[in-house]
């Protein structure tokens, strides 16, 4: 019997054509009374089915595509009516062919096809079970009958009651691992992380997470134990774990030591960065005093600004001013010298390491220390260059970029002895 193919462009509704073709096959006998297709409709179909290039997208197409994708995602969710039907199928046991027995003798009617599709482990068990009076019988041990009921219901509709989840979440996590149901395992881990972890049960949950291959849950529990170790080590769970699983206790103690070491190193780095930032502020204040002058101190060829000047924007200016005044008036001439004067000498030498205009620099002794650099040993030179590098790094990213550009333009090739040596380390 012959068949014909109809194109939807031959059909019109309210003057608008349906552009997408519908491949509808009808028997020729059923079309005995139909009329021939008009020629202008055939021409319309040929034009729309040609290989002409697609037109460019209209303005706002990208937004429309994003909105349509969201609509597709929303439509892809399973309607509540469908989930209700799966719940009803399980609760009513209509046409059930499988009995699941628990430790207390409870039997739960279910469907072997549903359980076999959701769990490959259950499929293998069901296939090995022999039918008896139209039913296959399997047994799920090690969990309360209510937990098994919640587990099987989740296989049908992916639903659960929050109170039941709270009561049996540990059993459900174990069941999801034993019977290989990753969707339920994900739900259980999320519920444990959000609602059920506490100092009293975190050790028990950590051990269960190791048995159930839940690395994320193990990490969350470990972080919680490290963060509140003083209280958790006094719980009953910790005492039992020390007796039955000493290797886990050793791992946790090593993690605690490692976390404490990292915390101390981080605090040390922050303190060092604070010191380097203070040194940089001192360098800025020293240059400000020697070049521009401040309200009560400045170069000899400039008048002091006095109280008419605004508040100084350099936070270290006052401290550096006191140090400069002491340095200019100190008369200590004993072995070991004055501690404040030593600090001033170090600031002047550090400035010379960071200065690239010694010929015009107004900071005292800048050129002197530039010349002194040429006679330093390699170890001493490396130490000062590293200190200068750390001080520059304390400024932040934007300061480092400008300093890198300055270095690239001012540092001369190797062999010249009239500029500062190249800084060691990243700038």
H-state helical runs in 58-211: 61-76, 80-92, 112-118, 120-128, 145-157, 162-178, 182-191, 202-211
pLDDT at 320 > cutoff 50 = yes
In the predicted model, what is the mean pLDDT of residues 305-321?
77
pLDDT of residue 76: 52
pLDDT above 50 for 351:
yes
Contacts of 352 (CB under 8 A, 6+ apart): 358, 363, 365, 366, 368, 369, 370, 373, 420
Share of the chain above pLDDT 70, in %: 72
How sure is the predictor about 418, in pLDDT bands with cuts at 50, 70 and 90? very low
Give the pLDDT mean for 267-271.
89
Q: Can you name the residues that pair with 4 across neighbouring β-strands?
A: 26
Beta bridge partners, 98, equal 110, 136
- Residue 224: per-residue pLDDT: 92
Count Cβ atoms within 10 A of the Cβ of residue 242 and give its class: 0-12 exposed, 13-18 middle, 19 or more buried.
middle
Neighbour count for residue 418 (Cβ, 10 Å): 10
Residues near 104 by beta carbon (within 8 Å), at least 6 away in sequence: 144, 145
26: closest CA among 45, 4, 52, 48? 4
Distance of CA 388 to the CA centre of its chain: 34
Q: What is the pLDDT of residue 100?
A: 93
Condensed to tens digits (0 to 9), the pLDDT of residues 230-263 reads 999 999 999 999 999 999 989 999 999 999 999 9
> Over 80: is that where the pLDDT of 426 sits?
no
Q: How high is the pLDDT of residue 14?
A: 41
Instruction: Kindly compute the dihedral angle of the four CA atoms of residues 288, 324, 391, 403, in this order, to the nearest 10 degrees.
Output: 30
What average pLDDT does the structure give for the chain? 75
In which element (H, E) is residue 12 found?
strand 12-13
pLDDT in tens, 18-72: 343 333 333 333 333 434 434 443 433 343 444 445 555 544 434 344 444 444 4
Q: How far is CA 111 from CA 140, 157, 299, 318, 324, in A?
A: 15, 13, 95, 84, 90
| Angle value at C-alpha 32, between 27 and 34, nearest 5 degrees | 100
| Mean of pLDDT values over 155-160 | 91
Angle between helices 182-191 and 162-178 (to 10 degrees): 130
Q: Are strands 3-6 and 12-13 parallel, antiparallel or unpaired?
A: unpaired
Query: Poorest-confidence range of 56-65, 89-98, 169-178, 315-324?
Result: 56-65
**Radius of gyration, CA atoms only, the chain:** 40
* Mean pLDDT of all residues in 152-164: 91
180 versus 51: the higher-pLDDT residue is 180
């Amino acid at each position: 019997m012959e068949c014909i193919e109809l194109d939807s462009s031959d059909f019109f509704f309210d003057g608008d054509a349906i552009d997408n073709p519908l491949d509808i096959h009808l028997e020729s006998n059923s079309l005995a009374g139909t009329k021939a297709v008009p020629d202008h409709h055939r021409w319309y179909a040929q034009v729309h089915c040609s290989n002409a290039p697609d037109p460019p997208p209209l303005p706002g197409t990208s937004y429309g595509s994003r909105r349509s994708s969201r609509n597709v995602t929303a439509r892809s969710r399973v309607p509540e009516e469908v989930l209700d039907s799966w719940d009803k199928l399980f609760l009513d046991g209509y046409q059930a062919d499988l009995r699941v027995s628990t430790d207390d003798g409870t039997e739960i009617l279910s469907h072997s096809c549903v359980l076999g599709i959701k769990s490959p482990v259950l499929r293998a068990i069901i296939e090995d079970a022999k039918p008896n009076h139209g039913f296959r019988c399997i047994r799920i041990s090690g969990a309360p009958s209510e937990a098994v009921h919640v587990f099987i219901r989740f296989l049908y509709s992916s639903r659960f009651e929050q109170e039941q989840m709270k009561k049996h979440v540990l059993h459900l996590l174990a069941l999801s691992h034993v019977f290989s149901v990753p969707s339920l395992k994900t739900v259980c881990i999320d519920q444990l992380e959000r609602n059920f972890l506490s100092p009293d049960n975190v050790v028990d949950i950590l051990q269960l997470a190791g048995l159930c291959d839940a690395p994320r849950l193990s990490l969350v529990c470990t972080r919680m134990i490290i963060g509140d170790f003083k209280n958790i080590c006094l719980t009953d769970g910790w005492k039992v774990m020390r007796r039955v699983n000493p290797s886990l206790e050793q791992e946790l103690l090593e993690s605690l030591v490692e976390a404490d070491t990292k915390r101390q190193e981080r605090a040390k780095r922050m303190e060092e960065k604070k010191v380097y930032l203070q040194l940089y502020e001192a360098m800025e204040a020293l240059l400000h005093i020697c070049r521009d002058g401040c309200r009560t101190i400045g170069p000899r060829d400039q008048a002091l600004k006095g109280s008419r000047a605004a508040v100084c924007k350099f936070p270290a200016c006052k401290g550096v001013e006191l140090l400069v005044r002491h340095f200019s008036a100190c008369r200590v001439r004993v072995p070991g010298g004055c501690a404040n004067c030593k600090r001033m000498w170090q600031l002047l030498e550090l400035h010379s390491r960071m200065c690239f205009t010694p010929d015009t620099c107004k900071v005292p002794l800048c050129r002197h220390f530039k010349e002194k650099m040429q006679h330093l040993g390699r170890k001493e030179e490396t130490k000062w260059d590293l200190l200068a590098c750390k001080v520059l790094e304390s400024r932040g990213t934007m300061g480092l970029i400008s300093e890198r550009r300055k270095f690239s333009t001012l540092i001369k090739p190797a062999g010249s002895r009239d500029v500062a040596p190249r800084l060691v380390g990243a700038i």
